[in-house]
A and B are shown apart, each in its own frame.
Chain A
Amino acid sequence: MRKTLNASTAAAVLVLALAGASPSTVHAQSAFPTKPVRVIVPWRSGGPGDTFARLVAKAIEDNKLLPQPVVIINKPGGGTTIGSRAVKDAKPDGYTLLFYHQTVITAKLMGTADYGIEAFQPVAETHNVCIIYGTSQKSGIKDARDFIAKSKAKPGSIKDATLLGSLSHFSAELFNTAAGIKVGYVNVGGGRKRFASVLGNHTQVMIMLPHHVYRPKSGMKGLVYLAPKRHPNLPNVPTAKELGYDVESCVNYWWLTAKGTPADRVATLAAAFKKATELPELRKTLTKRGVNVEFFTGPALKARMTASEKSLTAIAPKLK
């Protein structure tokens, strides 16, 4: 009896040991991710930022760029700080990502959050779009020079529909300070309300994105484009550089995770994002929505983030 037991026990142990040592198990222990990856989007479902995150996540899932699904969770509120704080405090195991942009910097500068990019581990940047300072077609402002002239003649008379403390506000002030003009900021609110304000001629100028100008029947006109070169769809809108002001402001869409996440996991995620940005289907969808698909990670990404932080920090005292 005992002999048989011993034999069968030994056999069982042997089988288990072999199973444990088999290549598949070894693989499973080091393969990341082994459960779904959650992306926290700090805006409400259906907003423009949310849509981008879902498009990229869907592309990753459909093309199996990661072995696990990518789940979008919306955590809006507190000026995006509810969502960003949730990721900042999350376990640094690579399973919680934050989809964000320069608001990570502006929130800290405005005092809405007590942390900035230093609290996160950057993973990748997948796309960006540069900012345009524009007006309505009926506002009576002919072009950038006219805008500057009118502002210099009566400082503060031209009203800018903005959201105080937002990246739009920062961008506007970057240009206005460089041009030496004073503009009257009115806190109209989120995107759509600002268009109504400008179209109704309550305010005259606002920060927007290129596709807001070139889409059909927009009623908008671009004054100055805060990018390195002119936009292909807006050949008549000069860049700030062309006007003599060295100002650039773009929205860079960053994927961040908690500080302390192991470097190999960060690399796995970054690789998936890189492959996603190379997918022709996703490139087409994103480009159609007016953004440039450009991938950055590692030191290049860090450099971009630091440059952004530098220019935004410099202008922050003028906004508070």
Chain B
Amino acid sequence: MEPLLTAFGAVVEPWSLFYIALGVVLGVVVGAIPGLGAGMLIVLLLPITFYMDSVHALILLVSIYVGSVSGGLISATLLRMPGTPSAIMTTLDGYPMAMKGQAARALSLGIVSSFIGGLVSWIFLAVLSPPLASFALKFGPYEFFSLVVMALVLIASVSEGSMLKGLIGAVFGFAIALVGPDVSSSVIRLNFGFTDLNAGFRLLPALIGMFVVSQLIEDIVGNEQPVRQARARMFDMVLKGRDYARHGWNYLRSSLIGTWIGILPGVGSAVAAIVSYSTARNLSKTPEEFGSGSEEGIVAAETANNASVNGALVPLIALGIPGSVVDAILIGALIIHDLQPGPGLFTEQPKVAYGIIAAALIANVIMFFVMFTSSGLIARLCTVPKAFLLPSIFMFCIIGVYTSTNRMFDIWLMLAFGVIGFAVRRAGVPIGTFVLGFILAPIAESQLRNGLMLYDQSLLPMLTRPISVTFLVVALLMVCWPLARKRVGRSRTAR
């Protein structure tokens, strides 16, 4: 505790606060603009941070991350384009609410959710990092595999439409993820001789294509006229105490889900939002509202994705293992400054380790104020005529994708995914299942095959190891839950 308090003391000085605030503002801007993202900005700033003090550099970058995950909800709500992958689920309910003229409320729900998610997960980060990290070390390949199976079972409940199409979406996501290098054998798969495909379909071109470019196409081809919004005033956006009470359990549950998914290496904030959203839907009294403006949906998604940011810092600082793509870049920042992430960081460079933790909290608070004050302005920007807005967003998509891979081929892929995404969404395939499949399939496959290698081709440890079997049992329960629910409902109405 002591070092943490000293870290707070160190961070609450003008320069550090400046960097945190700067990071949050940049993060919100970059998160709000579809196509750009925290990953891109952090990568671009890495060489510049060479010249900065390490603590300042890292708190700047972490603040950008915090800001961007929140900023993504603005364009998700107002434009139906997620500014960052973490906001993909927010488009499902934020946009319908905005269409009904309730943009201010949707935004404020999102902002408060982000704040609470960040707070709750921060408590875990600050207090429980070392024990959580040692717990995470107990996860072997079959533990991860069972966990992913558990998440994939949620596919059944994520489907906003027919379950069949939900499954097809997920399996299609699997198929897309298979192209490229096979991690478990260094063989290049399914490139059909096109060496350009040797990298496979990477996360950013695929997601930006599927969700932003497809929406651009939809905006041009479709006929929806968004309701002309009255200015989203700060005043309209303050939530009443009643709202906090109504969504209380949702806030808590979604924070926990987000924190834990964040702690797991390699999963990320998009999955946190999807899992939280579908859990909320499963437990909701009004599941049919999800997808057409359910407040619970927004709360679940936005609480979880912000919670996952702090959750991901746990393995990052404690073990040096990235929780998501952006965390991998943050580790790069540590390496550039010759800091070794891992248990040694707490003893070798406590200023850095605790500084990052302290900054995460302050960034969360600053994010809250920045988002509240700037949402009105950004909302105004979204009413700019489409002729100016849409081509500019496309330009940002190109910039965002090119800066991450430095290949024009990925821009073509992004365009192709835009068309595919447009077609697939028009055909009624739920987007959440595709993202789940696309992100989780590689993890599931590599962990299963690793387990086979580790346990000499035996699948038995999946059922004998305690953590692994727990997840599988929960997965089984989740499969049975909708059926049980129906039966309970039937017996109730029968009475």
Q: A-side interface residues toward B, CB under 8 Å? A: 44-48, 50-51, 54, 58, 72-79, 81-82, 85, 110-112, 156, 159, 163-166, 184-189, 192-193, 195-197, 199-200, 202-203, 215-219, 288-289
Contacts and interface: CB of A to CB of B under 8 A. Distances in A.
Contacts of A186: 141, 450, 453-454
B34 interface: no
A178 to B, nearest CB: 23
A75 B198 contact: no
Contact of A58 (B50, B407, B453): B50
A192 B320 contact: yes
Given A112-B187, A199-B137, A200-B138, A50 B332 contact: yes
A202 B138 CA distance: 8
B138 A216 contact: no
A77 B200 contact: yes
A74 B403 CA distance: 9
16 contacts: A46-B329, A46-B336, A51-B336, A54-B336, A77-B181, A78-B188, A81-B188, A112-B181, A184-B456, A195-B342, A196-B319, A202-B140, A215-B340, A216-B347, A217-B344, A218-B344
B220 interface: no
Contacts of A44: 328-329, 332
A192 B188 contact: no
B373 interface: no
B395 interface: no
B137 A196 contact: yes
A287 to B, nearest CB: 12
A51 B339 CA distance: 12
Nearest to A106: B186
A54 B340 CA distance: 18
Contacts of B476: none
Contacts of B392: none
Contacts of B425: none
A68 to B, nearest CB: 17
A138 to B, nearest CB: 11
Interface in B167-219: 180-181, 183-188, 195, 198-200, 202
Interface residues of B, number: 53
B137 to A, nearest CB: 4
Of B139, B319, B331, B454, most A-chain CB atoms within 10 Å: B454
Interface of B: 43, 46-47, 50, 136-141, 180-181, 183-188, 195, 198-200, 202, 265, 319-322, 328-333, 335-336, 338, 340-344, 347-348, 405-407, 446, 449-450, 453-454, 456
A192 B322 contact: yes
A91 to B, nearest CB: 17
Given A192-B322, A192-B331, 12 more contacts: A46-B328, A51-B332, A54-B47, A74-B43, A77-B181, A78-B198, A112-B187, A186-B453, A192-B319, A195-B319, A196-B137, A288-B338
A159 B406 contact: no
B184 A202 contact: no
A189 B186 CA distance: 11
Q: Shortest 8 CB-CB distances between A and B: which pairs?
A: A46-B332, A77-B199, A165-B186, A78-B198, A200-B137, A217-B344, A202-B140, A78-B199
A104 to B, nearest CB: 14
Nearest to B336: A51
Nearest to B330: A46
B370 to A, nearest CB: 26
Contacts of B331: 46, 192
B454 A77 contact: no
Nearest to A162: B453
Nearest to A43: B332
A112 B202 CA distance: 18
A81 B335 contact: no
A217 B186 contact: no
A189 B265 CA distance: 12
Contacts of A110: 186-187
A216 B181 contact: no
B407 A75 contact: yes
Contacts of A200: 137-140
Nearest to A57: B47
A184 B336 CA distance: 34
Contact of A47 (B195, B335, B338): B335
B458 to A, nearest CB: 12
A191 to B, nearest CB: 9
